[in-house]
Amino acid sequence: MRTLSPIVLAALLPGAAFAEQHTEAKPVDRGPPNAEYEPAFPEQEMAPQLEATEVAIETFAENLERPWGIAPLPDGSYLVTERPGRLRHVSARGEVHEPISGLPEIDAREQGGLLDVTLSPDFGSDRMVYFTYAKPVDGGVATAAARGMLTEDMTALENVEDIFVQGPPSDAPMHYGSRITFDGEGRVFITTGEHFTDEYRKMAQELDNTYGKVVRLNPDGSVPEDNPFVGQDGEDAIWSYGHRNIQGAAIQPATGDYWTIEHGPAGGDELNRPEAGKNYGWPEVSYGIRYDGAPIGTGEPRAEGMEEPVYFWDPVIAPGGMAFYEGDAFEGWEGDLIIASLSPGEVVRLDFDEEGLVVGEEALAGGNGRVRDVEIAEDGTVLFLIDSEAGAILRMSPKS
């Protein structure tokens, strides 16, 4: 397992601080790294393993095909997307109902399909549901976000309309992103991918498209006037750029900050806190390498003018959705970040210090399959989606 060399640590941490860092608990063991890049600061990777939490896992709902996103409803039930193109209502007892009607045409090839789902902040009065999906368009496919009104009996979406369609079209049905997240201030963030291939990935560095970007909009799809590139050459909707494939996003309750997590190549999964107008490096720099072992971009992990991730993984965890923990079920977890991992397939917990640096990591619920999304239930237990043909929602609670 890779560790920072004593020389590097000594340069970064003087005296007693170096001694303490050098003797602390070992990180989670996920095998050998793909690359050999040193972090920019000690807390950027391989945080000490947290004391193990004893958990119990039970099945909450089953008979779901490739579940991708989950959103809680006010009555304790849930909306769940299935990637082949179905939106389901799942009762508070875990009963899976027939598909909700009214969805647009969806392209479910490769990594495409029906993706994330969330509720309007005013759902109690407007009953609006927001979702993302792979949209077939002239010339290919695109990440799209739409909204529609959920009927009182929860069987249909009405008056469905797109609020965002990624441009230009792509002929590669890969790397769509995408999470849709309200910021608490009347704006909505939508994450995208860069469609994977060399032809497209370079577009993550260009401002005339929405590949590899965080997009920020008003709920009706209009562009906020304070977006960083409004009035400049390029796409007004862009919030940040230089991303690869962002499949997790969450608002931190304690601060209101917006966080994302994105897939790296071989190594280099990144946890970021995207800020307006900033460049997060892909594909010029990365803490990972190509799947064939060749370097990415410049072959360097960082460059001037490009933002450092708060944290990265090598080997990867292949991140899905994430949520900040709020609840009473797990003692000491308040404010921790709970992340879905597709590979090796687990629920990851990160602990932060007061400066927002990662100071501890734990891997939980391994061996249950590819974890695509997580949701904190009202009672503080953790629901997580198993992404498979015979998919399910599992519940994680403290072991009594």
- Set out the domains of the chain in order of their start, with CATH numbers: 68-321 (2.120.10.30)
Residue 71, amino acid:
A
By the 8 A CB rule, do 261 and 310 touch?
Answer: no
The tokens for 246 are 């962002």
- Which residue is associated with the tokens 């949209």? 135
Predicted model pTM: 0.93
Q: Comparing C-alpha atoms, which of 351, 359, 297 is closest to residue 325? A: 351
Q: Comparing C-alpha atoms, which of 145, 196, 159 is closest to residue 175? A: 196
131 Cβ partners below 8 Å, 6+ apart?
69, 81, 87, 114, 115, 116, 117, 118, 145, 146, 147, 180
Q: Mind listing the pLDDT tens digit of every residue in the chain (400 residues)?
A: 333 433 344 334 443 443 344 346 899 999 999 999 999 999 999 999 999 999 999 999 999 999 999 999 999 999 999 999 999 999 999 999 999 999 999 999 999 999 999 999 999 999 999 999 999 999 999 999 999 999 999 999 999 999 999 999 999 999 999 999 999 999 999 999 999 999 999 999 999 999 999 999 999 999 999 999 999 988 999 999 999 999 999 999 999 999 999 999 999 999 999 999 999 999 999 999 999 999 999 999 999 999 999 999 999 999 999 999 999 999 999 999 999 999 999 999 999 999 999 999 999 999 999 999 999 999 999 999 999 999 999 999 999 8
3-state secondary structure at position 20: helix
Neighbour-count burial for 150-171, b at 16+ CB within 10 Å, e otherwise = beeebebbeeeeebbebbeebe
Annotated catalytic sites, by residue?
A: 175
- Which residue is associated with the tokens 């993302």? 132
